[in-house]
Amino acid sequence: MKLFRTFFQSDLRYFSTKKLLLDVDVNKIRNIGILAHIDAGKTTTTERMLFYSGTINQMGEVHHGNTVTDYMTQERERGITITSAAVTFFWRSHQFNLIDTPGHIDFTMEVEQSLNVLDGAVFILDASAGVEAQTLTVWRQADRYNLPRFIFLNKMDRTDASVEHCFHSIQQKLSVTPLCLQIPIKKGGKLSGLIDILTMEKLTFSNMKLAKIALTEREDCELWSETMLLRSNLVDKISEYNETLAEKIIKEESMDNIKTMDIVGAIREETLNQNIIPVVMGSAYKNIGIQALMDAVVLYLPGPGKRSEYYNCFEDNLCAKAFKITHNKQKGTLVFVKVHNGEINKGQKIYSTTQNKNELVGRLYTAFADDFHEVEKIKSGNIGVISGLKHTKMGDFLSNSASAVQKAKEKFLKTKKSVLDDAVEDLFENKVRIPEPVFFCAIEPESAAYQTALDNALMEMQRQDPSLRVTQNCETGQTVLGGMGELHLDIIKDRILKEYKVKAKLGELQINYHETLKEKTTDTLEFCTTIGGLVQKFTIRLSIFPTGEEEKKEILVFDRTQDAAKNISAIYHKHLSAIRNGVEAALANGPRISCKVSNVQVMLHFFAVEKGTSESVITAGTTQLIQKMLQQQGTDILEPVMNIEIVIPSDYLSPLLADLSRRRSTVEEISMRENVKVVRANTPLSELQGYATIIRTLSSGTATFSMEFYKYRKMSPIDEEIAIRSVRGF
């Protein structure tokens, strides 16, 4: 309750010195993300928050290419956010560590890593569009991390903005209970301010300054009674969830006598419990509602305390997550971390669990986008930046030493209950979720002199972005890049040229097809040979079977029948690893077009080995056996299929549908939104190359389009032929 009391007493003075508050109480830290569909206004809103918090004294605009958080050349040129930016600022004596995430699906790994370090999120909706496709995707991602959140309806200045439509789409599409905390004031059709329903105040924002004027019954008559009614409804609604508030209402015998402080407390509690979603609104572009938005972050989103509890098993030791890596001309490689437990000190030795390597911390910083402020330590709950690390990659966990991690793991396993989330489990299993690339293309330096520079550039970029895959094609010897989409690979190419100054050519973009087994098959290999006078002998029996449209987590499984289980339980660990490596190698290159074999499982039935047989012989034998089985049984080709959503004026609907059907699409749903149709469909990725341009032409620039990966699917024999020709090039 103290929080709210000081909050309401403090004035609107904000803090302009970055240094002033670097040692804030952990409860006053807000690690938040701004999540939204592309173009909803994330970057513009962030820029406004930086301005009002006094961090910057001039506002940039996305279309001028001068915002703080879109600082990469590629971002400024294209007016989009590519890498997540972390900025720290202060508002009402709270430290905000804000992460402006990229909206485009090509950068989904960045979003995923950022979500991992947040304690709460602000969802921005374009009030003229409501909940859009990408909003839904990131909403579900936030669900997986259990993030408390609220919604900001942006672009309320637009004439087609509709609070009603937004609420309807929030309820329908997100299946949550929105709670309206404000209403817009419009003068002559123009947005001039907001009404705060809780405090019954008029908020105006002229000359970039917020003014609050209490509504009075005498002067505001109708507006006053309307707001009074909204307030009672609001109190009524929260009291359905919040017992403390319900009891207060009974005691006071009226909803109108309930103190604002008590309502705020109840909203906070139920937001943290994720029973309700508060909704505030405004216009970032017109500087309306931003201060109130920041107040809502303080009041309704949590500090890091609750989430840190998951990492209690580390006791006094460090547990931190590297969620972003960038390269700075002066400072070298910078690793952004969230400290979940313990603290990091300047110059200390740390251990990267994922890389299994010790590292030396150089300097520590707090980040103000691409500007940095040096600090002595980063404490539990906070986000900061480390320089000097040589091996750590995006997604890695950091601790003090291997033994500290081992100790924590033992404690974790002992106390493991439902309270511990996936992230902690992933930590100990050494897993970083890296999405599957759907596109690839060959890359080669313009002359051999650039080869080393190219290799180094790719290595550095992979450290920053593990969703960029770099492999060698064994047949052609070419370097092949795998990526999440056209834009992803385009940006990589741009950075190689401009940032690393390496002259390189990129081949044509290719779809990442997969192969899958037609039918189950079982076979045995009895291997015997003599190498350098040593007998190498083993027997292995395996089956492979297709798993349908599902990609299974475990590729190698074990026969659980009694006889088999007895044999398998006696296999040495090193031999199992050798078999697993053999399986993985065989499935990396299918027999038809050398693509990854997916949606299959391999079952081990029997294994026996002569003493002295080397592991590499077992691996090679296993690979050979599986390749032979795949060859004999035959494979089908799988293609990536995307979920797409197109928003288009009704007039263009029939040409759009005709075009979609030519692109082998299945239309899932056509719904109406104001004057536009929203079409949801599944379309093979191979039909979507350059689609953004095509749809622009088809709709005279009026349609918008977004897509995300759906699944790998079998193709018709004719389409298979086309795919094979495109891969082989003839």
567 neighbors 607 (Cβ within 8 angstroms): yes
Does residue 134 touch Mg ion according to CB under 5 A? no
Of 42 and 340, nearer to Mg ion (C-beta) is 42
Q: Closest approach of Cβ 35 to Mg ion, in Å?
A: 11
| Cβ neighbourhood burial of 87 (10 Å; 0-12, 13-18, 19+) | buried
By CB under 5 A, residue 43 contacts Mg ion:
yes
Site for ligand GDP (CB under 6 A): how many residues? 20
Residue 169 partner contact from ligand GDP, Mg ion, none using kind-dependent CB cut-offs of 5 to 8 Å: none
Query: In 10 A of CB 428, how many CB atoms?
Result: 17
The stretch near Mg ion (CB under 5 A) out of 42-50, 290-298, 330-338, 367-375 is 42-50
Q: Which of 106, 157, 269, 645 binds ligand GDP (CB under 6 A)?
A: 157
Q: At 585, list the tokens.
A: 């190698």
How many residues bind to Mg ion according to rule CB under 5 A? 3
The SS3 of residue 377 is: strand
Site track 484-523 with ligand GDP (rule: CB under 6 A), x = hit: ----------------------------------------
Rounded to a whole number of angstroms, the minimum distance from the CB of residue 689 to ligand GDP is 23
Tokens 């003493």 belong to 611
The sign of the CA dihedral 546, 547, 552, 556 is negative
Name which of residues 261 to 300 contact ligand GDP (CB under 6 A). Answer: 283-286
Closest CB to Mg ion among residues 97, 619? 97
Question: Considering CB distances under 5 to 8 angstroms, the limit depending on partner class, which of ligand GDP, Mg ion, none binds residue 40?
Answer: ligand GDP
103 binds ligand GDP (CB under 6 A): yes
- Say if CB 258 and CB 265 are below 8 A apart: no
Binding ligand GDP by CB under 6 A: which of 18, 28, 78, 158?
158
Q: Residue 81 interacts with Mg ion (CB under 5 A)? A: yes
Tokens of 570: 């006696």
- Window 42 to 61, contacts with ligand GDP (CB under 6 A): 42-44
Nearer to ligand GDP, 128 or 387 (CB): 128
Residue 76 vs 680, nearer CB to ligand GDP: 76
Closer to ligand GDP by Cβ: residue 123 or 513: 123
Tell me the C-alpha distance between 282 and 153, whole Å. 6
Q: Which does 320 bind (CB under 5 to 8 A by kind): ligand GDP, Mg ion, none?
A: none
Q: At what angle do helices 163-174 and 133-144 cross, to 10 degrees?
A: 50
Is residue 37 a contact point for Mg ion (CB under 5 A)?
no
Number of other residues whose CB lies within 10 A of the CB of residue 507: 13
**Count of CB atoms situated within 10 Å of the CB of 566:** 9
Can you give the length of the chain in residues?
Answer: 730
* Residue 63 sits in the site that holds ligand GDP (CB under 6 A): yes
For residue 329 the two structure tokens come to 């001309």
Whole-number Cα distances in Å, 26 to 99, 273, 295, 381, 441: 18, 20, 18, 6, 46
Question: How far is Cα 114 from Cα 85, in angstroms, rounded to an integer?
Answer: 10
Contact criterion met (CB below 8 Å) for 715 and 514 = no
Near Mg ion by CB under 5 A: residue from 30, 37, 42, 94 = 42
Q: Crossing angle for the helix pair 573-588 and 615-633, nearest 10 degrees?
A: 40
- The partner in contact with residue 600, picked from Mg ion, ligand GDP, none with C-beta cut-offs of 5 to 8 angstroms by kind, is none
Task: Check binding of 99 to ligand GDP (CB under 6 A).
Answer: no
Q: How far apart are CA 687 and CA 681, in angstroms?
A: 13
CB nearer to ligand GDP: give 76 or 286: 286
* Residue number with CB closer to ligand GDP (162 or 619): 162
Ramachandran category for residue 672: left, alpha or beta (phi over 0 → left; psi -120 to 50 → alpha): beta
Residue 123 contacts residue 151 (beta carbons within 8 Å): yes
Nearest approach in angstroms of CB 67 to ligand GDP is 8
Is residue 41 near ligand GDP by the rule CB under 6 A? yes
Contact predicate 476/67, CB 8 Å = no
Q: Which residues pair with 685 in a beta bridge?
A: none
Report 68-87 residues binding ligand GDP (CB under 6 A): 81
Q: Cα(537)–Cα(516) distance, rounded to whole angstroms?
A: 30
String of DSSP letters for 417-475: -TTS-HHHHHHHTT----PPP-EEEEEEESSGGGHHHHHHHHHHHHHH-TTSEEEE-TT
Query: Does the protein bind Mg ion through residue 84 (CB under 5 A)?
Result: no
* In the complex, least distance from residue 283 CB atom to Mg ion, rounded to whole angstroms: 16
Indicate the residue type of 721. Answer: E
The SS3 assignment for 335 reads: strand
C-beta of 704: minimal distance to ligand GDP in Å?
12
CB closer to Mg ion, 42 vs 393: 42
Nearer to Mg ion (CB atom), residue 49 or residue 681: 49
Query: Which one of the spans 20-28, 31-39, 390-398, 611-619 is the region binding ligand GDP (CB under 6 A)?
Result: 31-39
Report the residue number, 42 or 155, with the smaller CB distance to Mg ion.
42
Six token digits for residue 215:
């509504």
Please, are residues 606 and 564 in contact by the beta-carbon 8 Å criterion?
yes
- Pick 75 or 262: Cβ nearer ligand GDP: 75
Minimum separation from the CB atom of position 74 to Mg ion (A): 12
CB 82 within 8 A of CB 102: yes
Binding site for Mg ion (CB under 5 A): 42-43, 81
Binding site for ligand GDP (CB under 6 A): 36, 38-44, 62-63, 81, 103, 154-155, 157-158, 283-286
